[in-house]
């Protein structure tokens, strides 16, 4: 099925609501995947599945880790949230890294995604532009704002690669709210180009061989070349599509199917049975979901770049 895989693989490798800022500490930001609400005191909109950012200690942190130097300037993530909210960007999801070291808890890397109902993508796939904010209070990372997309049909979130818009990194030392506002403008200016790019991906049809090449290149991007020689992956299973709307063999659908499998985990690798009657034999095992913030962003961006490269090989503008 993948008779041209080596040739293609070589080419691939070359490849709103407002609030008073003074009350920010007393404000709970509640969100679901589709709905944003804000809670003041005990009053909130009817939503049985709400969650609030106050439960993320790293997001509401008001001092830096002990390991930071005297030159380190703490900029609370809540301050950035306030700047984004004033510009119409509201938080819709949040995540923080798990910490085994108690000294690092509350200062670890965290990620928040924002949406603005006035910023849209002209596309038939129900895509919602997002601003992806990452930060930490341990002195190891700058504020970073990147452009992302949320796909309603499958609740997939992706991060666009630096080829579309370089990550906007804002240092804690010398921080200004204006730098965040300028980064927001950059995101808004980039959104139309992202929409056009997605339209190009949707117009490109993929052959079975090309989809196989894409899947193998994506697996390599996630696991590395050494793992590809030592482990037995099943690209056909990674390409298995269980969503009717993604049945058409387009580059965009291929990208989304592979992205969902790699990030959420799936059965696309043969693994050795460790115990029991079939010990030593191999069976199809389940790969773990990606929970790391940094790894999630890295894989997302690698897949976007891979998709751009495939579009180039297929002759897209």
Number of H helices, E strands in the chain: 8, 11
pLDDT tens for each residue of the chain, 317 residues long: 444 554 544 444 444 333 333 333 333 333 333 333 333 222 222 233 344 777 777 787 766 655 665 666 677 888 899 999 999 999 988 888 777 766 666 667 889 999 998 888 877 777 889 999 998 877 666 788 999 998 876 666 778 877 777 788 887 777 889 989 998 998 889 999 999 999 999 999 999 999 999 999 999 999 999 999 999 999 999 998 777 778 899 999 999 999 999 999 989 988 888 888 877 788 888 888 998 898 999 999 999 999 999 999 998 65
Separation of alpha carbons 299 and 262, rounded Å:
8
Q: Nearest-5° angle of CA 220, CA 226, CA 232?
A: 70
Contact 241, 257 (CB under 8 A): yes
| Predicted local confidence at residue 280, as pLDDT | 76
State how far the Cα of 12 lies from the Cα of 308, in Å rounded to an integer: 10
Report the distance separating Cα 63 and Cα 232, nearest Å.
Answer: 47
Q: For the purposes of burial, counting CB atoms within 10 Å of the CB of 133, is it exposed (0-12), middle (13-18) or buried (19 or more)? A: buried
**pTM value?**
0.75
The answer to whether residues 60 and 54 touch, using CB atoms and an 8 Å cutoff, is: yes
Distance CA 200, CA 315 (A): 10
pLDDT of residue 104: 67
283 burial type by CB count under 10 A (0-12 exposed, 13-18 middle, 19+ buried): exposed
Task: Determine contact, residues 301/159, Cβ cutoff 8 Å.
Answer: yes
CA distances from 120 to 84, 140, 192 (A): 16, 33, 8
CA distance 29 to 33: 13
Q: What is the pLDDT of residue 12?
A: 47
Look at residue 116 in the predicted model and tell me its pLDDT: 92
């Amino acid at each position: 099925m993948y008779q041209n895989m080596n040739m293609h693989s070589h080419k691939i490798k070359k490849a709103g609501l407002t609030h008073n800022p003074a009350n920010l500490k007393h404000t709970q930001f509640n969100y679901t995947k589709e709905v944003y609400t804000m809670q003041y005191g005990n009053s909130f909109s009817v939503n049985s599945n709400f969650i609030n950012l106050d439960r993320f200690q790293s997001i509401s942190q008001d001092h830096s880790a002990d390991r930071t130097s005297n030159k380190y300037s703490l900029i609370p993530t809540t301050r950035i949230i306030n700047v984004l909210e004033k510009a119409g960007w509201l938080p819709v999801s949040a995540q923080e890294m798990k910490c085994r070291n108690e000294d690092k808890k509350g200062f670890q890397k965290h990620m928040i995604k924002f949406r603005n109902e006035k910023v849209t993508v002209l596309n038939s796939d129900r895509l919602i532009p997002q601003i992806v904010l990452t930060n930490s209070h341990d002195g190891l990372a700058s504020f970073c704002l990147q452009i992302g997309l949320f796909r309603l049909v499958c609740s997939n979130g992706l991060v666009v690669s630096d080829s579309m818009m370089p990550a906007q990194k804002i240092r804690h030392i010398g921080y200004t709210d204006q730098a965040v506002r300028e980064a927001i403008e950059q995101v808004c200016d980039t959104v139309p180009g992202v929409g056009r790019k997605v339209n190009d991906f949707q117009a490109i049809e993929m052959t079975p061989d090309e989809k196989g090449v894409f899947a193998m290149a994506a697996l390599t991007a996630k696991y590395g070349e050494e793992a590809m020689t030592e482990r037995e992956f099943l690209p056909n299973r990674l390409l298995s599509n269980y969503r009717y709307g993604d049945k058409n063999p387009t580059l965009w659908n291929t990208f989304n199917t592979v992205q969902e499998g790699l990030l959420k985990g799936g059965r696309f690798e043969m693994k050795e049975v460790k115990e029991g009657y079939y010990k030593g034999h191999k069976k199809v095992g389940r790969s773990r979901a990606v929970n790391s913030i940094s790894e999630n962003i890295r894989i997302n961006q690698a897949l976007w770049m891979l998709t751009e490269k495939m579009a180039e090989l297929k002759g897209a503008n």
